[in-house]
Structure 1
Amino acid sequence: MAPDTSQFATGIWGSPPPLELAAFRRQNSTLILLSLGVLLCLLGIHLVFRPLLGPLPFAIALALCLRFLLLLGELWLMSGREWLRPATFARVSVAVHLLFAVILARINSGQESHYVVLLVIPVLASAFWLSLAGLAATVLVASGLTIFQVWTPAGSTPAGVLVEYFEATTVALTFLLFAIIVRLLVVQQWHQEAEVRAGMAELARTRDRLVQEEKLAAIGRLSGAIAHEIRNPVAMIRTALTATSRPDASPENRDEFFSILAQESLRLERLTEDFLAYARQRPPERRSLETATALGSAAGLARARAEEAGLQLEVAPAENRLASFDPFQVQQALLNLLLNAIDATPRGGRIRMGARQEGGRVVFFVENEGDAIPPAVAARLGEPFFTTKPRGTGLGLAIARSMARGHGGDLLLEENRAGCVRFGLRIPEEEAPWAPS
């Protein structure tokens, strides 16, 4: 997107955008560290060139030490002070920089001109924080101090005076050029940040719109699936009622139709209960419980169904450990996995369940012997109302996955091959660590 030139001009000649506290802290902390580094470098330069410059005057040493302490105090104020007003603090900071330069110029009396480098710092800060008027005033003060430092001492020759003023004027022009360049770069940064903020705001609006559309689409798909699942038993019930009301219906046919009525009513009731269990998922109520207890409860509920199907149900031996989870939800999720495994296992097969520790989570698993799940079916496992069973509701795995995600975990198909299909219910530990009993 091309920059707006009118806004660019306003940024140069007008005021900067409002300072954010976090950004101001970063900028001012960097500027303070830069100032501290410059002070240390100036002291080092004076010590190196002591034969030429002479010993460091006590007044200058005292002023530099006090300034060093003030900068450390300012750096301390930058850390975690929510009451700071960035705009006010910026003006005060620039003014203090200039005041220190004025004091140092008065002490120097035109003899220590290398300290003029300290005037670069307030010019830099003004380009970042102040309006054009503030920046111009800072540059004028810095230029005036530079020229003042070479005020003609008594006994100087005219040629020496001209050289000194020429050098001072050159430094003043350097300040002006430095201020213009930095201001231009800063304005470009402001506009880039404004474009990024505008882009982020547009992305947020687009995301919200897409989320809303996806929610509506999901509601539509869910409504269609519910209508489809309810329509079949309702149609069967209507057909059976119509058939039983016919005068020529035999008692045998009536009994058969009454059986159909009972089966389809039960199917409709089960579908309603499963949907309510899926839709009204409550947050898990975690408590410390032995994993063997949860496995034993689910296995006890499913064992009769497994024996009726001619299957062997085994609970894998494991260390009896404490874990933190909602026992009712985990038992219901494991029971759903077991019922699916019973339906998918050929007669004479084996179903195995257990629990293991895996990093910072407990993994309950249910595996069964049988054919591998086809990839097209595996990709849709856990989708509400998707089922390959003639009498299934397609909500068993969806409920189990919803309960696992309610714990902050998930339900995964861990193994899918001929002779071994294993689902893992992964629940992160949050409240109670694993501990041997």
Structure 2
Amino acid sequence: MEDHDSFRRQELVFAALNLLLIGALLALQAISRFVRGRPTASVIVVLAGGFLVQAVYLIWLRTRKARISEVTRRFLTYWSLGFNSMLALVLTSLTIRGDTAYYALMLLPILEASFRLSLGVTIAVIALADLISFMGAYGLKFGEYIEAGAMSVIYTVMGVLVWMLVNNLRAREASFVRNLQELDRTRQQLLSEEKLAAIGRLSRAIAHEIRNPVAMISSSLATATRPGQDETEREEMFSIAAKEAERLERLTTDFLVYACPRPVQPSRVNLADTLNYVATVARAHAANEGVTIDVAVDSNLEGEFDATQMYQALLNLVLNAIDACNRGDLVRLDAQKNGSGKIRIDVVDPAGPIPAEIVARIFEPLFTTKQGGNGLGLAIARNIARAHGSDILLRINESRRVCFSMEIPAHSGSQSLR
């Protein structure tokens, strides 16, 4: 079934060509009447009437905006066939036993039938065109019948050949559509299987991460409640259980943040305040590791982002950088506008390069090489960046220089400071 737009384009082309054909015949016959006194005035009137009807039809097609239904399409197709056929019959009848070329009006009905209708209908239209050709030769010399026969052969070859080509193309198109649908089903199946596999890997990793603190809590409590334990050892076991419970709570909280991120609520924020706050919060941990944090950002630089989420993402990046450093190293937190009107934020540390096998999995949830880490920090940070229409990239990974970068929208100047 042809869709509305395709039918409308085809019908506009057919109608415009038909108008051009009728107009050319009208002009030629008007000149012939002026020069030779033939054909009769009735022929000119019929041609002029046909030209007017076709012009009105073309205007209606061009101005119609409503969708053309399947029933209307079929009606318009048969109307076009009938209009040209009737016009050719009438004009041939008026000029019988004389010079006539009105069989040319059957060219477009044959083509239209070949494009849209069955082979049987196409052959019927060809037969009508052949009849009109022989009508035009009636009562004339034998050579005129030969010309009519040649024209009939041309009509038949043209109509059948176009019908075969069009239907061959439609069969190929249908085959392509089926192949695309099959590919789409296969793709969806592969995606579903990949999602299930990813869920399985994630579930195993979560189970592994949860099992360790649960086992520690269970064994510590069992030891603490065992008869004969002195108070010091019992307090130590309770302390271990409390720490493992805290680690378990932190793991589940981080996983919930990763699995169910909060919707982004962007606002106009001073980026220097955000970066300095992240550095201030991270400096206590940096001091314990003997690492220094440096911030380089324009004090007037402003962006459009969710300040709470951005703080969480940047803090995860900075803490990861600190943990990768050696004592005496420097972690830099930089921000500046780039050429695309966005702000690029870089977290740079000298603990490189990161091995290729780790780079391939660095953003994978629950993958970590850090003692006591849960492997969700970078995954959460990347989710936050993507929610802001950006991403986190390992932009530089070389000896003594590792740089994680992300971009955020710069302030457009159309909102008030919140």
- The TM tier, using the shorter chain, reads 0.7 to 0.9
Which residue number in structure 2 is paired with residue 27 of structure 1? Answer: 10
User: Using the alignment, how far apart are the partners of 1:349 and 1:377 within structure 2?
Assistant: 22
Which residue number in structure 1 is paired with residue 206 of structure 2? Answer: 226
User: Using the alignment, how far apart are the partners of 2:239 and 2:37 within structure 1?
Assistant: 114
Q: CA deviation at 1:278?
A: 0.6
Aligned to 1:422, the other structure's residue is in SS state strand
Structure 1: gaps of 5 or more residues: 1-17, 153-159
- Counterpart amino acid of residue 371 in structure 1: G
State percent identity of aligned pairs: 37
Aligned to 1:352, the other structure's residue is in SS state strand
- Counterpart amino acid of residue 433 in structure 1: S
Aligned to 1:170, the other structure's residue is in SS state helix
Match status 1:135 vs 2:122: yes
Which residue number in structure 1 is paired with residue 150 of structure 2? Answer: 170
Candidates 369, 373, 384, aligned match of 1:392: 373
Which residue number in structure 2 is paired with residue 433 of structure 1? Answer: 412
Pair 286,168 (structure 1): closer, same or farther in 2 beyond 3 Å:
same
Match status 1:69 vs 2:48: no
Structure 2: gaps of 5 or more residues: none
Which residue number in structure 2 is paired with residue 402 of structure 1? Answer: 383
User: Using the alignment, how far apart are the partners of 1:319 and 1:151 within structure 2?
Assistant: 97
Q: Deviations over 1:358-404 (max 9, x none)?
A: 42543322112223211111110110000011110100000011112
TM (norm. structure 2) is 0.85
Which residue number in structure 2 is paired with residue 274 of structure 1? Answer: 254
Q: Deviations over 1:295-349 (max 9, x none)?
A: 2333333233333433222221237344332222212111111111111122222
Aligned to 2:371, the other structure's residue is in SS state coil
Which residue number in structure 1 is paired with residue 392 of structure 2? Answer: 411
Q: Is the 8 A contact 1:46 1:53 kept in 2?
A: no
User: Using the alignment, how far apart are the partners of 2:36 and 2:168 within structure 1?
Assistant: 42
User: Using the alignment, how far apart are the partners of 2:123 and 2:103 within structure 1?
Assistant: 18
Match status 1:192 vs 2:179: no
User: Using the alignment, how far apart are the partners of 1:315 and 1:100 within structure 2?
Assistant: 85
- Counterpart amino acid of residue 137 in structure 2: V
Paired positions, count: 410
Candidates 382, 388, 391, aligned match of 2:363: 382
Pair 53,170 (structure 1): closer, same or farther in 2 beyond 3 Å:
farther
Aligned to 2:347, the other structure's residue is in SS state strand
User: Using the alignment, how far apart are the partners of 2:305 and 2:166 within structure 1?
Assistant: 54
Q: Is the 8 A contact 1:67 1:100 kept in 2?
A: no
Pair 372,94 (structure 1): closer, same or farther in 2 beyond 3 Å:
same
Pair 435,315 (structure 1): closer, same or farther in 2 beyond 3 Å:
farther
Indicate the RMSD between aligned Cα atoms, in angstroms: 3.3
Q: Is the 8 A contact 1:236 1:264 kept in 2?
A: yes
User: Using the alignment, how far apart are the partners of 2:414 and 2:14 within structure 1?
Assistant: 53
Q: CA deviation at 1:245?
A: 3.2
Q: CA deviation at 1:257?
A: 2.8
Q: Is the 8 A contact 1:318 1:354 kept in 2?
A: no
- Counterpart amino acid of residue 335 in structure 2: A
Q: Is the 8 A contact 2:267 2:304 kept in 1?
A: yes
Pair 367,54 (structure 1): closer, same or farther in 2 beyond 3 Å:
farther
Which residue number in structure 1 is paired with residue 263 of structure 2? Answer: 283
Q: CA deviation at 1:226?
A: 0.4
User: Using the alignment, how far apart are the partners of 1:415 and 1:121 within structure 2?
Assistant: 66
Q: CA deviation at 1:124?
A: 0.7
- Counterpart amino acid of residue 95 in structure 1: G
Q: CA deviation at 1:39?
A: 5.8
- Counterpart amino acid of residue 4 in structure 2: L
Q: CA deviation at 1:28?
A: 2.8
Candidates 222, 239, 253, aligned match of 1:242: 222
Q: CA deviation at 1:182?
A: 1.6
Pair 246,98 (structure 1): closer, same or farther in 2 beyond 3 Å:
same
Q: Is the 8 A contact 1:321 1:435 kept in 2?
A: no
Aligned to 2:375, the other structure's residue is in SS state coil
TM (norm. structure 1) is 0.82
Q: CA deviation at 1:251?
A: 4.6
Q: Deviations over 1:10-39 (max 9, x none)?
A: xxxxxxxx3322332343344345445656
Match status 1:299 vs 2:279: yes
Stretch deviating more after TM superposition (399-408 or 243-252): 243-252
User: Using the alignment, how far apart are the partners of 1:361 and 1:43 within structure 2?
Assistant: 65
- Counterpart amino acid of residue 87 in structure 1: R
Write out aligned runs for 1:286-365 (5 A): 286-318=266-298, 320-358=300-338, 359=340, 361-365=342-346
Pair 305,175 (structure 1): closer, same or farther in 2 beyond 3 Å:
same
Q: Is the 8 A contact 1:323 1:434 kept in 2?
A: no
Q: Is the 8 A contact 2:278 2:315 kept in 1?
A: yes
User: Using the alignment, how far apart are the partners of 2:215 and 2:347 within structure 1?
Assistant: 36
Q: Deviations over 1:150-200 (max 9, x none)?
A: 343xxxxxxx52111221122123212222112222222222222222222
Pair 116,289 (structure 1): closer, same or farther in 2 beyond 3 Å:
farther
Stretch deviating more after TM superposition (377-386 or 314-323): 314-323
- Counterpart amino acid of residue 345 in structure 2: F
Which residue number in structure 1 is paired with residue 135 of structure 2? Answer: 148
Which residue number in structure 1 is paired with residue 76 of structure 2? Answer: 89
User: Using the alignment, how far apart are the partners of 2:334 and 2:36 within structure 1?
Assistant: 84
Q: Is the 8 A contact 1:322 1:435 kept in 2?
A: no
Q: CA deviation at 1:414?
A: 0.9
Pair 324,144 (structure 1): closer, same or farther in 2 beyond 3 Å:
farther
Pair 46,357 (structure 1): closer, same or farther in 2 beyond 3 Å:
farther
Q: Is the 8 A contact 1:290 1:321 kept in 2?
A: yes
- Counterpart amino acid of residue 343 in structure 1: D
Aligned to 1:92, the other structure's residue is in SS state helix
